[in-house]
Chains A and B, each alone.
Chain A
Amino acid sequence: MEKFSTHTGVGAPLRRSNVDTDQIIPAVWLKKVTRDGFEEGLFSAWRSDPDFVLNRDAYKDATVLVAGPDFGTGSSREHAVWALQNYGFKAVISSRFGDIFRGNSGKAGLLAAQVDEKVVQRLWDYLDDNPGASITLDLESRTVKAGEGVDAIEDSFTIDDYTRWRLLEGLDDVGITLSHEDDIVAYESTRPSFKPVTL
């Protein structure tokens, strides 16, 4: 996984709440057996609308998505994270994420930055007033910044310590766990015999 420390990129305001993972990538796209090529399916139902935010010129190079509360609810499909990444997104900002989506983002290297709902509203307004403007996310200091001068937005975002550390270091989760294999072996020796097996 690539290291993530700070990112500055065009912000896209997605003025919707409850964006479930079926909206991010519909099931018909889940038949692929690779991790790439999902960008076409990203928000595919909404992208047929010419007014959809990602169809507007100002946002075509967007890398930071700013969404309403409960982003990434529903299905566990990690394809939703891959679709966002394949499209070019490096980070999603929301006031509340679906648990599984947030976990998947951390594993796959997409920053899911949780902010206060008021910050989302301010970023939306700022991006609407300044189409194509950038947002900066600094993972080291857990801050989000946009704009300059008196109207500048600067606030903190939350992400758990462990995910932050892994993203900063670009570490492979499986590798970390396998370094504790002794603990797994020790645990396995204590499992009761009544636990079921499949073979």
Chain B
Amino acid sequence: MGKTLAEKIWEEHVVRRHEGEPDLLYIDLHLIHEVTSPQAFDGLRLSGRAVRRPDLTLATEDHNIPTTDLDKPIADLVSRTQVETLRRNCEEFGVRLHPMGDIDQGIVHVVGPQLGLTQPGMTIVCGDSHTSTHGAFGSIAFGIGTSEVEHVLATQSLSQAKPKMMAVEVVGELPVGSTAKDLILALITQETTGGGQGYIVEYRGEAIRALSMEARMTICNMSIEWGAKAGLIAPDQTTYDYLQGRPSAPTGADWDAAVAHWDSLVTDDDAEFDKVITIDASTITPFVTWGTNPGQGVALSGNVPDPASFEDDNERVAAENALRYMGLEAGTPMKDIKVDTVFIGSCTNGRIEDLRVAASLIEGHKVADDTRILVVPGSVRVRLQAEEEGLDVIFKDAGAEWRGAGCSMCLGMNPDQLTPGERSASTSNRNFEGRQGKGGRTHLVSPDVAVATGILGHLAGPADLAELEKAGA
């Protein structure tokens, strides 16, 4: 019987296999940031261990980084201590670091692909659940906890039980105005937050093949939001075109050898998945969340659901709690929901393509009164690229705020936070209670919906913007 893509990569990385034990897997790339690493480095020091492969390790600062006043030291002393701790640890253990102020600083999941360090067929881990992003290149990439960060630092390997294999077959074509974000949000609502649990998911089919690398990253990024161990997409010419010429991409004979290998990284025709889900992309319309987990979503054209409509007791109670927290009434049209803050950024939607789409939609419009739009590029290089293309001017002319790079309001570890009761439309990945600031209310959206919402002041899609333009003309 043939193998799935994920099985092939898995088998290529088994260092040790022993009856009754999880496989010991080799890790090709270990990404590090300031939040989940300090206790791991402490552990190394306590046991007198070194970083086994600093040459397969890369650190950047992202979660705590302010997006304003970048020329000043971090004002929050606790944040500053955490960032300084990372700097000391990287120096002591010989790990390459892209700190604040460095041209390669940014969100760890934007930086890896941008440098060309993320390549097909690799195993990639990071103390961050959105490590699944890197699966877009056809690699097995997943988030780990701090004990595991210490384990990888010390051994460059990780013991892991082999997950089951799932295929998500995305047939048909995404309609104009619908994006990769809408597709993944709709999938998570269909499958719920636990639906992918125990699986590595391969996203397949013509709609996936048609996506750009950055859109593929958006899909894989949110694999964790439906509980999957990892999500990945087989590499193809789109992948190679994106990679070639990047600083860490192979060159010359190495490139040819790499491509020859990458070409073999496809699921065999006779491979069997443990589970297969089929989705018709042509049915996908702009999709948003109404609740407090990413599986509580609905079409933008729909209404806030009635908790009584959920058959499962836990889901019904969760819906009641969510509506209370979100300050929403069942039956309210989603488009009637007024929004205070729009956040465009994060490892889900903070790359250059996202900013290009957002800028093209916002051009010629003004941000609604009583609404603010924050645009936070995923990395310094994304920011510089956007500025070179004049996108920053378009955003600023429309009244949006153009910020420095980092995780920012996705999780509010820096000063970019919602205040209690404040409502956001956010291109990030989590709408958990308090995620963007204590008492903050988050609706997850695509960049297209984010911009339309910021201009109209209530949840809205690109079609509503087009109507506005028609009316204006």
Contacts and interface: CB of A to CB of B under 8 A. Distances in A.
A23 B22 CA distance: 30
A151 to B, nearest CB: 22
Q: How large is the interface on A (under 10, 10 to 19, 20 to 34, 35 or more residues)?
A: 35 or more
Interface stretch (A55-63, A76-84, A140-148): A76-84
A69 B159 contact: no
B430 A74 contact: yes
A81 B146 CA distance: 10
B81 A33 contact: yes
Nearest to A175: B47
A100 B143 contact: yes
Contacts of B354: none
A195 B28 contact: yes
Contacts of B82: 31-33
B434 A22 contact: yes
B28 A78 contact: no
A26 B237 CA distance: 41
Contacts of B399: none
A23 B413 CA distance: 15
A160 interface: yes
A15 B320 CA distance: 13
A187 B197 contact: no
A15 B423 CA distance: 26
Interface in A140-199: 160-162, 173-174, 176-178, 180-181, 183-184, 187-188, 191-199
Contacts of A174: 43, 47, 49, 150-151, 154-155
A180 B250 contact: no
Top 8 A-B pairs, shortest CB-CB distance: A107-B147, A104-B145, A78-B145, A33-B38, A76-B143, A17-B314, A194-B258, A194-B254
Interface in A71-109: 73-79, 81, 96, 98-100, 103-104, 107-108
Given A104-B147, A196-B119, 16 more contacts: A27-B435, A28-B412, A31-B35, A74-B430, A74-B432, A76-B127, A76-B131, A77-B36, A100-B129, A107-B145, A107-B148, A160-B161, A180-B16, A184-B155, A191-B26, A199-B94
A20 B79 contact: no
Interface residues of B, number: 89
B177 interface: no
B144 A103 contact: yes
A196 B36 CA distance: 24
A35 interface: yes
A99 B81 contact: no
Given A20-B293, A22-B432, A99 B198 contact: yes
Nearest to A31: B78
A35 B217 CA distance: 32
A177 B47 CA distance: 14
B227 A70 contact: yes
A140 B28 CA distance: 36
B29 A18 contact: no
B419 interface: no
Contact of A178 (B35, B76, B155): B155
Contact of B15 (A76, A184, A197): A184
Contact of B194 (A73, A160, A193): A73
B16 A183 contact: yes
Contact of B78 (A32, A70, A96, A188): A32
A160 B79 CA distance: 37
A98 B255 CA distance: 38
B67 interface: no
B117 interface: yes
The interface centre, meaning the residue of B26, B193, B321 with most chain A CB atoms within 10 A of its CB, is B193
23 contacts: A17-B314, A22-B432, A26-B434, A27-B411, A27-B413, A27-B435, A31-B79, A31-B413, A33-B82, A45-B433, A68-B314, A77-B36, A78-B127, A103-B145, A103-B148, A162-B21, A173-B147, A177-B157, A181-B155, A184-B24, A194-B255, A194-B261, A199-B94
